[in-house]
Structure 1
Amino acid sequence: MSAADPTGAQLLVVIDPAARRVDGESTRIARDVLCAGAVAKICLPNGPEEVARAVARRGRRRTVVIGDDRALLRVVGLLHRRRELAVAPLAWVPVGALPAVSVARVLGVPLSAVAAARAVLDGAERRLGLLADDSDGVVLGGLWVPAGATHRNTPGPPAAGARRGRAPAAAEAGPAGSGGNGGGGAGHQSWWSPAARTARTALTMLSGPGGRHPLPSCTRLRVEADGVLLADLDRPVGRVAVSAVEGLAEVVVQQRSGDEPVRARARAVTVSGPDFRYRADNRIRGPVRTRTWTAHPEAWRLTLPRA
């Protein structure tokens, strides 16, 4: 624990075990920066149960997660289920290789351990939206249905809760030498890259621009936005993408490549049909026969760089 800092910041630093294994050096650097700038209680949990106990005993401390997307989602999901998310300030130092820290890119969290740790100390708190499903799960970075193959060039969904309410990101093929997607070949940007954060880009990627990202095999899905039918089982659907934008759930339905997408904003989006899987926050979930996602504006508090 460091000496008391002049700002009086008190932190609970939860260091995910995977971060210690994958990149011990970045983890140590982040811990040292945080301890030098604030009163920091360090937690080294060995599993989800220990994370839950530490977070439950956080008191007035701000919880800082050091780890990948799953580590952050574990804490956010825990606080959501405890109905404490809105009153629990959070910060995050991403540790891991892309795509394991892809959510950081859409939220605007620096990928450098030093920069992210400094943002924890010097940044500003912002309230962000998210999607919550009917099984008490949360989605921070957007989702698509069906999940499709786990191929390195498969585009991702629009991203929920992008900074400043901007529309979500989608995968985009870039020029040679552009940012990678954590395993993709050269010339392919991550779908959460800054160049792919507009609604126009999201729609372009849904339709597979230039044939570079063709839609997966069509499936039959029923899609409703606040009870309004956008697609039914009588017509195959290529992809459904859902994200949180400006306090609502934005849904984009692509019937087939080349068709004009159908898009709408609603408080809740329901997808149903034969057993399907979906990709949320770069993780495949399901199979389910029906799932409803509800938009929660300003649902959680995250410290981000002031710039």
Structure 2
Amino acid sequence: MAEVATSARPDQLLLVIDPVARRADGESVRIAKDVLSAGAAHTKVCLPDGPEEFARALRRRGSRRPVLVGDDRALLRAVTLLHRHRELAGCTLSLVPVGPVLGLARSLGVPTGAVAAARAVLEGAERRLDLLVDDSDGVVLGTVGIPPAPRRDPEPDPEPDPGPDGPVGGTRPWLRTCQSLVRTLAHPRPVRTGPAPGAGPARLRVEVDGVTLVDLDQPVEAVSLTPGAAGAAQVEVRPLSVGAEASPLTASGRAVTVSGAHFRYRADAVESGPVGTRTWTVRAGAWGLTLPAR
């Protein structure tokens, strides 16, 4: 992880409020909007209804500093868009975490309270962070897990957003409860009784900077990769234990290749695959995020 102590200025902000955040916690969205509007010289608010409007808002940001109000998936979507348009190096992102999937935001050090997060946007500092980029031009901000762990975060309810004229995400609590009950009775969610698809031992070859860490003849229970420090990925392989628990194998390097039988993996909040091989490469200090000043 590379850091740059560049102070973020409360200047002109582009506040992009993700629809999932508006549905999940309208009160936190309102608080963040009020704090940011009061502290910045000028704030433009954008309420995209879907990925295309989200992308259009970022492309038309001009000199405004983008502030995302949303969860991990909104942050990942923004970084992916900027990376693919080769604009990531020149754009510092800020995040007010609101929504059901916030594990990545917490691990990056973003305050999870609306007031604290909004103040960090206004008073914090840009920190340059490493990025994992795979051979299909996908990006990873946090962790790659093989096989993908079962999702623990609740999915947002797919109810329509009332728009800017009503309360932000403003369904009254009693009506929200009734709507949720009706949806549950009409469309009950299946109960999983077995292991997650793709779980269990796998035979994979893991290479770090061209050196084999584990080969196909040794079954593994799990593999994980995370952006580490100084432009290196941290890799951990857990071999299948027989009898006594096997110690994990660890390594660090700039490029990590996993190959073998077709496998699925989770990168941040997104599950991908199956693939037969995938290479992740570290880009040191590739993106900037506003975090509380140290």
Q: Tell me the TM-score range normalised by the shorter chain.
A: 0.7 to 0.9
For the Cα contact (< 8 Å) 2:10–2:123, is it kept in 1?
Answer: no
**SS at 1:85 equivalent:** coil
Q: Quote the Cα distance in structure 2 between the aligned partners of 1:220 and 1:287.
A: 14
Who is 1:270 aligned against? 257
Is 2:241 aligned against 1:226?
no
Who is 2:131 aligned against? 130
TM-superposed deviation, 1:148:
4.2
Who is 2:246 aligned against? 259
Is 2:232 aligned against 1:248?
yes
Q: Quote the Cα distance in structure 2 between the aligned partners of 1:30 and 1:221.
A: 45
> CA RMSD of the aligned region, Å?
1.5
Select 1:15's aligned residue among 14, 17, 31. Answer: 17
Q: Quote the Cα distance in structure 2 between the aligned partners of 1:89 and 1:282.
A: 21
Q: Quote the Cα distance in structure 1 between the aligned partners of 2:34 and 2:91.
A: 23
Structure 1 counterpart of 2:283, one-letter code: H
1:52-201 correspondence runs (5 A) = 52-97=55-100, 100-150=101-151
Structure 2 counterpart of 1:254, one-letter code: R
Q: Quote the Cα distance in structure 2 between the aligned partners of 1:231 and 1:63.
A: 42
For the Cα contact (< 8 Å) 2:73–2:269, is it kept in 1?
Answer: no
Who is 1:26 aligned against? 28
Structure 1 counterpart of 2:291, one-letter code: L
Select 2:219's aligned residue among 225, 229, 236. Answer: 236
Q: Quote the Cα distance in structure 1 between the aligned partners of 2:66 and 2:151.
A: 32
Is 2:265 aligned against 1:284?
no
Greater RCO (Cα-Cα under 8 Å, separation 6 or more):
2
Is 2:57 aligned against 1:47?
no
TM-superposed deviation, 1:151:
6.3
Who is 1:297 aligned against? 284
Structure 1: which 5+ runs fail to align? 1-6, 153-215
Q: Deviation string for 1:59-84 (max 9, x for gaps)?
A: 11111000011011100100011111
**Count of aligned residue pairs for this structure pair:** 236
Structure 1 residue ranges, 4+ long, deviating more than 3 angstroms after superposition: 148-152
Identity %: 61
Q: Deviation string for 1:141-199 (max 9, x for gaps)?
A: 111111144468xxxxxxxxxxxxxxxxxxxxxxxxxxxxxxxxxxxxxxxxxxxxxxx
For the Cα contact (< 8 Å) 2:135–2:279, is it kept in 1?
Answer: yes
Q: Quote the Cα distance in structure 1 between the aligned partners of 2:280 and 2:23.
A: 34
Who is 1:196 aligned against? none
Q: Quote the Cα distance in structure 2 between the aligned partners of 1:251 and 1:87.
A: 29
TM-superposed deviation, 1:8:
6.0
Return the TM-score normalized by structure 1. 0.74
Who is 1:170 aligned against? none
